[in-house]
Chain A
Amino acid sequence: GAVVSQHPSRVICKSGTSVKIECRSLDFQATTMFWYRQFPKQSLMLMATSNEGSKATYEQGVEKDKFLINHASLTLSTLTVTSAHPEDSSFYICSARRTANTGELFFGEGSRLTVL
């Protein structure tokens, strides 16, 4: 089946530094990937839609300059948390579809960010 891989699975960084999280579709091409954020015991909140070859579409309330998204190829999207602060500590999850509009979305394993 389709596999979406995220790296790193866990990262700890100092406040003020930037952290990059990678999301790869391993056996299919994904023109669109999605980035979610999940707080403990909460649901997944869509942050942005990453579009290959164009700018990401951010959800209301998500800071574009803080959460930089780059979808450089059909198999790779990256999320960079810039100037991270402790309140950015969260579980970040990416997802991708094998084909457009099928409704079947595959998720990565998630990346847990802890900002000290």
Chain B
Amino acid sequence: QKEVERDPGPLSVPEGAIVSLNCTYSNSAFQYFMWYRQYSRKGPELLMYTYSSGNKEDGRFTAQVDKSSKYISLFIRDSQPSDSATYLCAMEEGGSEKLVFGKGTKLTVNP
């Protein structure tokens, strides 16, 4: 079993839709959870960073972590065509400094 799994993609949604992206993990030692956005042929850009169970909101983005279920989510409200990108979840054990990435979900928001 891979350490980090993401829900299958790709996703195609109309502008204004609510998008839900999810990852599950098996390593209970993961303490830090991140979501990155990667545009085509570019490096990943940090969107959300959290280290505790619960929700964290930043503008149209909400990151949710459920450590008991080993499940994290990213919600995008009022999605825009500019949100079209690949979204990667990433996790890290405390003190390891190494990130483990999920495969990434390609999102297309249609105008």
Asked if B75 is an interface residue, CB under 8 A from chain A, the answer is no
Q: Which of B34, B51, B98 has the most CB of A within 10 A?
A: B98
Number of chain A residues close to chain B: CB under 8 A: 26
Asked if A65 is an interface residue, CB under 8 A from chain B, the answer is no
A47 to B103, CA, bound (A): 16
Pick the 3 closest A-B CB pairs, nearest first. A103-B32, A107-B43, A43-B101
Asked if B17 is an interface residue, CB under 8 A from chain A, the answer is no
Asked if B45 is an interface residue, CB under 8 A from chain A, the answer is yes
22 contacts between A and B (CB under 8 A): A6-B43, A32-B97, A34-B98, A43-B104, A44-B44, A44-B101, A45-B101, A46-B98, A91-B41, A93-B44, A100-B97, A101-B94, A101-B97, A103-B32, A104-B49, A105-B34, A105-B46, A105-B99, A106-B46, A107-B44, A110-B41, A112-B41
Q: How large is the interface on B (under 10, 10 to 19, 20 to 34, 35 or more residues)?
A: 20 to 34
- Give the residues from 12 to 41 in chain B that come closer than 8 angstroms, CB to CB, to chain A: 32, 34, 36, 41
Q: Which of A49, A95, A105 has the most CB of B within 10 A?
A: A105
Asked if B42 is an interface residue, CB under 8 A from chain A, the answer is yes
List residues of chain B with CB under 8 Å of any chain A CB: 32, 34, 36, 41-46, 49, 51, 88, 92, 94-95, 97-99, 101-104, 106
Q: A43-B102, A43-B104, A44-B88 are in contact. Are A104 and B95 (CB under 8 A)?
A: no
